[in-house]
Homo-oligomer: A and B are copies of this chain.
């Protein structure tokens, strides 16, 4: 490892020493974010925003394939509108930012900056839905939202963050439920296929569900430190909001019916998940499919005649098969290597005078450090293969890590022991009583992550907390 390389790497704490500090160091040193003079709000820098752009492009394409259309709603919600659905306002009012003045004049009614837009969409749907012919409505918006959190962390919890929020209205309860699950599965597939991040799909308990929802579904990922991260949620509202907002349509028999609604969202927090699932002690590691730059071409002895020209030509050729970039800055190769590693760029191509003479170059994989010598004329074929291989193996490694950190607790004693000593998901039976959920959360700082869809094993007959008969398997865990 070159001297400069060490210098940049030493700038980040190792994850074994202090995972939280490692995370903070990576987001800063990989130049994903910067702090702003607005407490709790972050600046997303080009390297971070480019990841978000790729997330947007891919999700948006998948949404549109299911018939979703994009709209834009106002960022302000009048206080009286926020208050229309009782559970919803109770959930959000304590953490919204209030606008009280427009210019020099006090406003007749306070406006909150949207923490989420259910109330605005309901107000809109009430106006535009009259007949069954107007259904379904499948709208989504990309925007920023504000929640006045007390403690903040870049990407994971900030006072303002970017997201998409889908809001749909349907004629029947079945159709709404179907859409809720469809979007959850879309999120899960996106995480697994594009972010190389395995997720558990399941349902939230009553305690953990969204304010105003009938049911909340979630995907839960496991970070490298063994903590869970809720990575996307999809809510089935039944007709609760429709009743509060009087959203009705005339059905085919000319009867007035309430609509059934859903909402679903994913946020910039996904970037935090990518960091904590794939990162290592040299910095960020980006799955190739989401990486803004997939291949960094780094010339060696670039002042020697012909090197830079050859590197430029190569980069131009590679640009046709992947997202390639040339680092022709006047930094040393060692420093460039360290930067490319810190920023998580999947592949590095090293090209010096000797390589050019031999008609080959050195390709280095970011995830494994593996070095390959590849003939220059084979690069266009080889690099896309390598990127796909890396994408697949990154998913497999993350899955193996996740699966090796799922523990079964058959009793409260065992639960306490695991919660204290073994990072990861804990499988434990639950009687369904919220008192047990409260007790576990209060005593062990462990929350119910979900009742999983695809894992219904009856690992015991009794509740892991109270010992009463239990039939529900719950994934528990410490969470971000």
**What is A's interface to B at a CB cutoff of 8 Å?**
34, 36-38, 41-46, 49-50, 52-53, 69-78, 81, 93-104, 111, 113, 120, 123-124, 127-128, 139, 143-144, 146, 148, 159-160, 162
Contact = CB atoms under 8 A, between A and B. Distances in A.
A50 B46 CA distance: 25
B99 A103 contact: no
Contact of A38 (B43, B74, B127): B74
A45 B74 contact: no
B123 A37 contact: yes
Nearest to A96: B103
A219 B144 CA distance: 30
Contact of A37 (B52, B70, B81, B144): B81
A213 to B, nearest CB: 22
A70 B46 contact: yes
12 contacts: A36-B74, A37-B78, A41-B74, A45-B71, A75-B146, A75-B160, A94-B103, A95-B103, A98-B100, A103-B148, A113-B113, A143-B144
A143 to B, nearest CB: 7
A97 B101 contact: yes
Nearest to A139: B46
A128 B38 CA distance: 16
A98 to B, nearest CB: 4
A146 B75 CA distance: 9
B46 A69 contact: yes
A124 B159 CA distance: 18
A72 B72 CA distance: 18
Contacts of A36: 73-74, 120, 123-124
B96 A34 contact: no
A138 to B, nearest CB: 9
Contact of A76 (B38, B73, B104): B38
A42 to B, nearest CB: 7
Contact of A98 (B42, B43, B96, B99): B99
Q: How many copies of this chain?
A: 2
Nearest to A69: B46
A160 B331 CA distance: 44
Nearest to A77: B38
Contact of A102 (B53, B124, B144, B148): B148
A67 to B, nearest CB: 11
Nearest to A46: B69
Contact of A34 (B41, B46, B128): B128
A254 B73 CA distance: 50
Contact of A70 (B43, B50, B101): B50
Given A36-B73, A37-B81, A43-B124, A97 B94 contact: no
A124 B70 CA distance: 31
B77 A49 contact: no
A73 B43 contact: yes
A77 B39 CA distance: 10
Contacts of A144: 72, 75, 143
B81 A53 contact: no
Give me the 3 closest cross-chain CB pairs, A-B, nearest first: A41-B74, A102-B148, A46-B69
A78 B38 contact: yes
A100 to B, nearest CB: 5
A172 to B, nearest CB: 20
Nearest to A146: B75
A40 to B, nearest CB: 9
Contacts of A43: 71-74, 120, 124
A253 B100 CA distance: 51
A415 B77 CA distance: 47
Contacts of A94: 103-104
Contacts of A111: 38, 97
A177 to B, nearest CB: 24
Contact of A49 (B71, B75, B93): B71
A74 B36 CA distance: 8
Nearest to A81: B37
Nearest to A60: B53
Most B CB within 10 A of own CB, among A36, A45, A102: A102
